[in-house]
Amino acid sequence: AFGRVKWLEPVDVRGLDLDKIVSFEQACLCLYPEDQGIEPPEEGEGLKKRAEVTLYGILPKKSGTAAKEKYREKIVKQTEKAGAELVEYNPDTGIWKFILQL
């Protein structure tokens, strides 16, 4: 598994083809991919709501305390760039958890 999503508000999934709408890839959650031909809803509708996203296997390439801290700083910057709120990042387990408006 690459990760998981936990929506923080009610989501109505009736009639949604989740296999086409939601896709996890290494270090990436994709919603409403263009190649599936599904028109994404407006923000706050469908699956485009606040969610806690957890990605697995996000590990630094190098070991050692300095390398782990440098990689953690990179994760913090990427989280901010995405407009997300960092919940936690653990360079030993590779778990990166953040809250995002999808």
Average pLDDT score over residue span 1-29 = 86
- Evaluate if residue 6 carries a pLDDT over 80: yes
Q: What is the pLDDT of residue 28?
A: 77
Domain count, the chain: 1
Average pLDDT score over residue span 38-49 = 88
Write out the residue range of the structural domain in which residue 86 sits: 3-101
- Closest-CA residue to 4 (of 57, 45, 41, 40): 57
Residue 88 to residue 39: CA distance in whole angstroms: 32
Q: What is the pLDDT of residue 33?
A: 83
| Tokens encoding 97 | 């958890």
Whole-Å CA distances, 49 to 64, 67, 100:
37, 34, 8
For residue 4, the cross-strand partners are 54
CATH of the domain at 45: 3.30.1610.10
Q: What is the pLDDT of residue 58?
A: 94
Residue 15 to residue 54: CA distance in whole angstroms: 25
pLDDT digits (tens, 9 = 90+) for 49-100: 999 999 999 999 998 999 999 999 999 999 999 999 999 999 999 999 999 9
> 1 pLDDT band (50/70/90 cuts)?
low
